[in-house]
Chain A
Amino acid sequence: MENQTVEIFRIQFVAIAVSAGMMAFVFELIRRKKLREKYSLIWFAAGIVMIVLSVWRDLLDRVAFLLGVGYAPALLFMVALGFGALLMIHFSVVISELTEKNKTLAQEIALLKQELKKNKNS
């Protein structure tokens, strides 16, 4: 019985450490200007949710019961996967934005190059 308690405590500790480590890493990336604050929010949100679920084990059990998930840790995977999917959609949006801006930029360059050449010749 005592052994089991220790093991539960251990996995909790690992989960908290990994989540906190991830958040620290994201924080460090922002500090070094490798990551924009705008794109870090979703990472912090994921980290906080994982820490809350790790610390407050009872919450996970209760939500799992509410949703009808028989095996509570499966809910943890579901939440993690959900965040993963959300992040990827977020990236698709960002990439689409960049593509659109990149296109406009290329068009402007073509128009400006022609303008410049015309002015040089005249």
Chain B
Amino acid sequence: MTAASRGLARRRHASAGASDFLVFRVAGSAHAMRVSVLREIVKSARLTPVPRAPETVIGITSFRGRVVTVLDLARCLGLGPSSRASSDASGGQRARVLMVEVASEIVGFAVDEVLQVRRLGEEHVESAAVALGPEAPAHFLGVARPGDASQSETIVLLDPGALIP
């Protein structure tokens, strides 16, 4: 995947006011994170389950010489357990772990499928407060409606830093 992310990095600074987001599917709907926090997308991670850890933690894995905690993104969002049941991150052919760097720690987020990279400008994004009211959880950055009328899908934009237990 590294080639893909390098491609993304190159495009990142193309226009001001807009950022590249990685769009992925988790618990049946589209979510996205800024590409800039992404370190790598891993296809299958050998996971070691961690007793006593919060239930959002699926396990730990080794990544670039570090011990990385892998979180079930669906559970982090309060959307119930994701499709992956086993300890090996092989919840499905398309399942991936997003290695994300937040607050100088690398954390893995397990998602059901990686969809695409989209450039989202301010014109596409409603802030969390507007979309969900003042009660919106801290990890919701906002909601994007990128397409024209024909493509009415919404993408929930996430702040991974606020998702860490």
The finding on whether chains A and B are genuine partners in a shared complex, rather than unrelated, reads: no
Residue positions of B touching A, CB distance < 8 A: none
Instruction: Spell out A's residues near B (CB within 8 Å).
Output: none
